[in-house]
Amino acid sequence: MAPTLAQIYVPMIATLGASAVAVVGSYYVGRGMRSQEWRLSLVRERLLERQRLYARFIAEADRNLLIVLGGKGPHVDNVMPLLALYAEISLLSNDPVLRAAKRVCDLAISANGHDAVSESDHFGVRSAFVEAARSELVALETEALAFR
């Protein structure tokens, strides 16, 4: 006996329907995974960018102190690279980091304006900046882990 049209079309339609459901499901799962990877990549880039910026800022603040203490003479031009890094920090960082960076800049400007600045003042302000920066970086890492 020859198969009827229903016997041919029903399995074919069921197979095509199951394939369509699998394709749509796979698309949304893949899209969600790519979106997740993209978000994690953005957070990773933000972390690396800030780590580099903060390290350069600390190094520049230390360099400025060494110039002043080394007897090369205080000069406002010594502070310009530090202020350029502060401008970048002001665009990227949260308020506690920004306030701590401002204190570092204020101290550098004072030191280059012929005011007496001790090493302990510098390292106290520098330590406050490092703590604020670490807190911000930990918050960014926590945010990245929350996406998972």
The residue type of 108 is A
pLDDT tens for residues 71-102?
776 677 788 999 999 999 999 999 999 999 99
Sequence-distant (6+) residues with CB within 8 A of 103 are 125, 128, 129
- The range of the structural domain enclosing residue 114 comes to 5-146
Q: How many CB atoms lie within 10 A of CB 115?
A: 10
Tokens of 83: 């202020």
pLDDT tens for residues 20-50?
777 777 777 777 677 778 888 888 888 999 9
Q: Look at the chain and report how many structural domains it folds into.
A: 1
